[in-house]
Structure 1
Amino acid sequence: MPKSLTPTDTHQLLHIPSSSTHKRAAICVAIFLFIVSMLILPFGERMLPEVKPFLPAFIAWFLFGDFMTAYLLYSQFRAARSMSLLVLSCTYLYTALITLPHILTFPGVFSDTGLIGAGDQSAVWLWVLWHGGFPAGIMLYVWTSWKTSAPLKPRGLGRKGAAAIMVVLGIVLGAYLLVTLGNDVLPRIIQKGNFRALLDSGIGPVVWMLNMLALVLLLVVHRGRSVLHLWLTVAVFVFLLDVTLTLFSGARYSLGWYAARTNSLISATVVICSLMYEVNKLYIRMVKNREQLLSSRQRLEEANEQLTRLSEMDGLTEIPNRRAFDDKLSEAMKSSAAGSYPAALLLVDVDYFKAYNDHYGHLGGDAVLKEVAAALEQTASASSLASAYRYGGEEFAVIMKEAGPEEAAALGEQIREAVARLQISHEHSQVSPHVSVSIGVHSRIVRDGETGQQLVDQADRALYRAKEAGRNRVEING
């Protein structure tokens, strides 16, 4: 059974599974080119004008297509460490390189008889080696992909690639030397531009059979499962049509000859075009995934910020809670020690809150805490250096940066007056007919090593004195 694609394979560009859409497109291209070629075949020997720029343009396009395909396949060989991909890359490199001596030895392009030692049989024999070498490389690729599945070791990968390229260069050089130096001893398969001897000698049919065998092997072993194998099959099929039209075209510059060259161009570019299309799809998908990732990250950051706010927010009064207070106090202590400026703490206690709860109920007590917290936060927020917190129960706290005892006491008096202005009835208060607060203040420059608890203890003593002195007042513990 042929080797199926593994999950690891699908991560490689060239092993993207072919979809039904891919297969329909490939079949349509193949059928269209087959029909056109078969319609041309009966009229293939009809001679057309000799277009001088056609062959140079054809070779330039062919070189670009095959060199780009070879490069992309070689890049994937380095990524996947697959020997079969190296073989396929070298196959396309061979077809690109073999066309260079072919066009230089072709009569009537750069000179009447061809360049670089060309004989009258050199160009056609290079065509044979070109059109026979490509299917041979495809068959070697199929065999390698069938027999080898384990990736190559990363060490020495570059040396293997370089060695394979040198082998291809050597083969092309050998082919050139063979068809030029051996021009007089090779079988004559073209007579004054006529291809009939190529067909009658049996060499042409052998080339045709090699292409047919390569096509059959690709279909049997890989069956177009991946995008690469699907369009590679189309390329080999079109190459077979190229050979067919050439054999029955009769001569150079005939209708069949021009059509065959056109099929060669399609064969050279169909794989690279399909792969570049997949590259573009992968790029678009990557951009969309990146946008989704950034959007998800932003939503996650917003959610984390919201969770942080909720974790540091008192559920009843909706002002920062004891956890936030501890963090802020620690920060204020460090800043004071580092900057040698005072840090101030105000502890605020609702007077006779238990009596209020007992008389008005817990719902009434909760309402009072909300209103007191709002007044306290509004007053503290008027100063950019102060922030308010619910410390616990009916106690609140205010942290001030860069505030001495007088500034802290002044803020405490503003808070006391703000609560008094609420005019919340408190029939069981012993100091006022309305809800009031007692405030203890402590401010000093923090020394290294001191803890926030020491600041809290000092402010708490001041609060205790405020209660002892009759409540509804502000006391400073200097």
Structure 2
Amino acid sequence: MLEITRESHQLLHIPSGSTQKRVAIWVALSIFVVSLLVLPFGSRMLIEIKPFLPGFISWFVLGDFLTSYLLFSQFRATRSLPLLVLSCTYLYTALITIPHILTFPGVFSETGLIGAGDQSAVWLWVLWHGGFPIGILLYLWSGRKSASPVAVKRIKTAGLIAVLLVLGIVFLLYLLVTLGNDMLPRIIQKGNFRVLLESGIGPVVWGLNLVALLLLLWVHRGRSVLHLWLSVAVFAFLMDVTLTLYSGARYSLGWYAARTNSLISATVVICSLMYEVNKLYVRLIRNREQLLRSRMRLEEANERLTRLSEVDGLTGIPNRRAFDEKLDKAVQASKAEGTPLSVLLIDVDHFKAYNDHYGHLRGDHALKRVAWALMETSITFPHTTAYRYGGEEFAVIMEKGDSEQAAIFGEHARKAVVSLGLPHEQSRTSSLLSISVGLHSRVLEEQDTGDGLLEQADQALYRAKESGRNRVAKAEDGLMHVYDQKTS
């Protein structure tokens, strides 16, 4: 189960869709039809284009190196031994074509370079076109035999051994076809491939490619992107061998067409995989953009929730939570800057009696009017904010304001509430709704706390109520001072 989950996240195990299958079938049919049309005229000689073969080999080598690298990268990510085998197969075909082009007569010299004999180039072609299907067969076999992934600590070692093994095989084969040129069977005469066909070596190479194609289709049936286009690559290789065997000679129509099939074989896998990489990249970018949009919406929602959590649902002014957070910050600022901090506690006079007489709806309306009167008053004082503290209690924080400024605010707030003109027939203090205010102000020392400020302000509020309500009281230096509204 873990193995299946791991493979489902591999680039090379992306399922092939119906569109990809249609395109692959179209490409394979095009190769087949063109090859079939060329076959009767394959031996017709065309002009010898000198740059064609170096350009063809360069394209082929680049395509196979890139495919090998991508497959090896997937092996490192998935630790799948079959992917290492397939990577080495493409590395082998890329490397074996290098001595093939260097020993090819008439490209860089009349007889070829690096110790080339008259049979070296054609034997390297046989080893090239025979080695690729053998690598495919090894890939299929390793997929059946290797169920467990390569151990993480052995990935580098396995990769290094595989690369060195391929390099060693290619070098030994190069030595065989150059130093042993005269001992190998002669399969080409004066550029004619008929001997290759008649000797049976050519049909063996053709048969290897056919077996590799049939087994690949039977085992994997093109279910993944990799296996779909790998099947097309092996089929193009088979058509390459077919046209080469019946082309008759180098630089014939069949020979040129066979090289074209080789190019298709070398590029279809890498092109299909790069297409999938691009699709994954585009999908990643879109997912990232969607994630960023979702994150922005989440942050906006969190901000709204934070605002809502800090706003009193009834009065619409900041609530107790907002007050506590602001008080902590204001205390720290007062200590750091050496500026005074004032806290005022406000209570609506005889509010229980108001509620009992006028009802809770009128009581809620009265609290809203009082809250906005306090808010409007606080706007006229710098660094001052009003909060609903709970029930009929309110609180005010005045930063950088001394006791005299706080007392002035308290008196303005008291007058603003009385000026609302809300009748209060049950009040023993006034015929109109009124408030009592207690405040405390000082420059905080290191040992001072917000709770200490609140305690002093609460004592001042108690003093204001005890003195007859509808007035402001101040706690300062351990003393209480009550501002009588009749003389203020």
TM-score, scaled to structure 1 = 0.96
User: In the TM superposition, what is the alpha-carbon distance from 1:414 to its structure 2 partner?
Assistant: 2.5
**Where does 1:112-123 land on structure 2 (aligned, <5 Å)?**
112-123=110-121
Partner of residue 238 from structure 1, selected from 220, 230, 236: 236
**1:129 is matched with which residue?**
127
Paired positions, count? 476
Partner of residue 373 from structure 2, selected from 367, 372, 375: 375
**SS in structure 1 of the partner of residue 432 of structure 2:** coil
Partner of residue 291 from structure 1, selected from 284, 289, 292: 289
Partner of residue 4 from structure 2, selected from 3, 6, 11: 6
Distance 2:281 2:160 in 1: 29
Q: Tell which deviates more after alignment, 134-143 or 427-436.
A: 427-436
**Where does 1:46-65 land on structure 2 (aligned, <5 Å)?**
46-65=44-63
Distance 2:374 2:12 in 1: 67
The answer (yes or no) to whether the contact 1:5–1:15 under 8 Å persists in 2 is: no
The answer (yes or no) to whether the contact 1:30–1:238 under 8 Å persists in 2 is: yes
The answer (yes or no) to whether the contact 2:6–2:78 under 8 Å persists in 1 is: no
Distance 1:86 1:466 in 2: 87
Question: Structure 1 residues 372, 218: CA separation in 2 closer, same or farther (over 3 Å shift)?
Answer: same
**Where does 1:23-422 land on structure 2 (aligned, <5 Å)?**
23-422=21-420
Deviations, residues 415-443 of structure 1 (Å, cap 9, x unaligned): 22332333333344444443222211101
2:189 maps to a residue whose letter is Q
TM-score, scaled to structure 2 = 0.94
2:414 maps to a residue whose letter is R
Distance 2:203 2:352 in 1: 108
Q: Which runs of 4+ in 1 moved over 6 A?
A: none
Distance 1:255 1:338 in 2: 91
**SS in structure 2 of the partner of residue 443 of structure 1:** strand
**2:443 is matched with which residue?**
445
Superposed CA RMSD in Å reads 1.7
Deviations, residues 254-290 of structure 1 (Å, cap 9, x unaligned): 1111110000000000000000000001001111111
Q: Tell which deviates more after alignment, 164-173 or 347-356.
A: 347-356
1:463 maps to a residue whose letter is L
**SS in structure 2 of the partner of residue 467 of structure 1:** helix
Q: Tell which deviates more after alignment, 355-364 or 147-156.
A: 355-364
User: In the TM superposition, what is the alpha-carbon distance from 1:471 to its structure 2 partner?
Assistant: 2.5
User: In the TM superposition, what is the alpha-carbon distance from 1:4 to its structure 2 partner?
Assistant: 12
Q: Tell which deviates more after alignment, 300-309 or 333-342.
A: 333-342
Distance 1:251 1:395 in 2: 105
Question: Structure 1 residues 5, 229: CA separation in 2 closer, same or farther (over 3 Å shift)?
Answer: farther
**2:472 is matched with which residue?**
474
Distance 1:216 1:52 in 2: 36
1:393 maps to a residue whose letter is G
Distance 1:191 1:217 in 2: 34
Deviations, residues 107-126 of structure 1 (Å, cap 9, x unaligned): 11111111111111111110
**SS in structure 1 of the partner of residue 8 of structure 2:** helix
Deviations, residues 287-321 of structure 1 (Å, cap 9, x unaligned): 11111111222222222222222222211112222
Deviations, residues 187-221 of structure 1 (Å, cap 9, x unaligned): 11111111100100000000000101111111111
The answer as to 2:430 corresponding to 1:456 is no
1:442 maps to a residue whose letter is H
The answer (yes or no) to whether the contact 1:82–1:152 under 8 Å persists in 2 is: yes
**SS in structure 2 of the partner of residue 70 of structure 1:** helix
The answer (yes or no) to whether the contact 1:136–1:214 under 8 Å persists in 2 is: yes
Q: Tell which deviates more after alignment, 104-113 or 375-384.
A: 375-384
**SS in structure 2 of the partner of residue 224 of structure 1:** coil
2:191 maps to a residue whose letter is G
**SS in structure 2 of the partner of residue 79 of structure 1:** helix
Question: Structure 1 residues 121, 323: CA separation in 2 closer, same or farther (over 3 Å shift)?
Answer: same
**SS in structure 2 of the partner of residue 319 of structure 1:** coil
Partner of residue 435 from structure 1, selected from 420, 433, 450: 433
2:22 maps to a residue whose letter is R
Distance 2:451 2:114 in 1: 95
Question: Structure 1 residues 5, 271: CA separation in 2 closer, same or farther (over 3 Å shift)?
Answer: farther
User: In the TM superposition, what is the alpha-carbon distance from 1:251 to its structure 2 partner?
Assistant: 0.7
2:290 maps to a residue whose letter is Q
**SS in structure 1 of the partner of residue 5 of structure 2:** coil
The answer (yes or no) to whether the contact 2:100–2:121 under 8 Å persists in 1 is: yes
**SS in structure 1 of the partner of residue 20 of structure 2:** helix
Q: Tell which deviates more after alignment, 11-20 or 257-266.
A: 11-20
User: In the TM superposition, what is the alpha-carbon distance from 1:5 to its structure 2 partner?
Assistant: 7.8
Q: Unpaired runs of 5+ in structure 1? A: none
Question: Structure 1 residues 142, 156: CA separation in 2 closer, same or farther (over 3 Å shift)?
Answer: same
Deviations, residues 336-356 of structure 1 (Å, cap 9, x unaligned): 233332221011112232232
Q: Unpaired runs of 5+ in structure 2? A: 477-488
Identical pairs, percent: 68
Distance 2:4 2:379 in 1: 63
Distance 2:60 2:261 in 1: 11
